[in-house]
Amino acid sequence: MNVNLANLASNFLPISCMIWNVQGTGSREFMSALKEIVRVNKPNVITLVETHMGGAQAIKIANIIGYSGHTRVDAQGFSGGIWIYWRSELVTVEPIHKHNQYITMEIKRVGDIPWYFTAVYGSLDPSKRQELWRELRDYAENNNVPWMLAGDFNDTRFRWERSASCAETTRRSARFNEWLEDIRLLEIEFSGASHTWSRGNSVTTWQSARLYRALCNGDWSLRFPNASVKHLPAIQSDHCPIRIAPNGFAPISEVNRPFRFQAAWMSHEKFRDFIETKW
């Protein structure tokens, strides 16, 4: 039996996703930051939103970071853009629906049971966000599947999620919470900075808010009870990347532990069946 140990080890790693509002993908500084983030965090699926550019740059990025799977909704002028990349040797992604504020896809490891993921970039226009909420409500009502949503929703739920408040932001938060309750979405617990966006360099100009979040329905929560989110440090953008681990984050000691193949495994009577099922 010929066993590629590198591939064997990688197939036992859990799926991880990352989403980042990059505020443009054209600069050399952005490219350096992206390569470092990918190198350190090694996401299986990475979503870039607010790309501000079209397809040629998207393909260039895929080649630079070495992700063979790619789908996208390009920016309209210099507004928006959702680009998704995945490592097709590790995970299968099938886009189901594309919209200028979200992409919904089926996602799974080869041979595993699929689940469903919607990468979100909510419009800065509140009326357009209402269109987003309606479409996602329709999906929830018509699809009884394990479903996770994550991204930049451009809305907050609670007073502590923003540095300043007014009557309008309070009304929008109330509508956002009503939407979440209507379709019975749950928050996935996060660690890291409480706000994912900040701007300003003085006390008088400083603003911040928690615009990113990861949500799921009950079926997804039951399948991934240890799911967790990390808000990573902001770099080359006003927005923090967020990393989502459906199976939770391994302790540092486990992350740094090298994979070792035991020759005795091959003598087990069910070894071949195990490899064919899991690999």
CATH code at position 37: 3.60.10.10
Distance, in Å, from the CA atom of 111 to the CA atom of 90, rounded to the nearest integer, reads 11
Expressed as residue numbers, the domain containing 195 is 15-262
Confirm whether 170 is domain-assigned. Answer: yes
Q: What is the pLDDT of residue 17?
A: 95
Confirm whether 103 is domain-assigned. Answer: yes
Confirm whether 271 is domain-assigned. Answer: no
pTM as predicted: 0.83
Q: What is the pLDDT of residue 111?
A: 75
The model's confidence at residue 10, banded by pLDDT at 50, 70 and 90, is very low
Q: What is the pLDDT of residue 243?
A: 96
Confirm whether 142 is domain-assigned. Answer: yes
Inform me whether the pLDDT recorded for 264 exceeds 50: yes
Inform me whether the pLDDT recorded for 104 exceeds 90: yes
Q: What is the pLDDT of residue 1?
A: 45
Q: What is the pLDDT of residue 251?
A: 58
Inform me whether the pLDDT recorded for 16 exceeds 80: yes
Q: Give me the number of domains the chain comprises.
A: 1
Distance, in Å, from the CA atom of 123 to the CA atom of 102, rounded to the nearest integer, reads 10
Q: What is the pLDDT of residue 8?
A: 41
The model's confidence at residue 76, banded by pLDDT at 50, 70 and 90, is confident
Distance, in Å, from the CA atom of 275 to the CA atom of 11, rounded to the nearest integer, reads 10
- Averaged pLDDT of the chain: 86
Q: What is the pLDDT of residue 79?
A: 78
Distance, in Å, from the CA atom of 19 to the CA atom of 60, rounded to the nearest integer, reads 19
Confirm whether 68 is domain-assigned. Answer: yes
Share of the chain above pLDDT 70, in %: 84
Nearest Cα to Cα of residue 65 among 87, 82, 80, 49: 87
Q: What is the pLDDT of residue 2?
A: 46
Confirm whether 146 is domain-assigned. Answer: yes
pLDDT per residue over 176-187, tens digit each? Answer: 999 999 999 999
Confirm whether 273 is domain-assigned. Answer: no
CA dihedral for 118, 196, 224, 271, sign (positive or negative): positive
Average pLDDT (240-253) is 82
The model's confidence at residue 15, banded by pLDDT at 50, 70 and 90, is confident
Range with the poorest average pLDDT among 38-47, 103-112, 119-128, 213-222 = 103-112
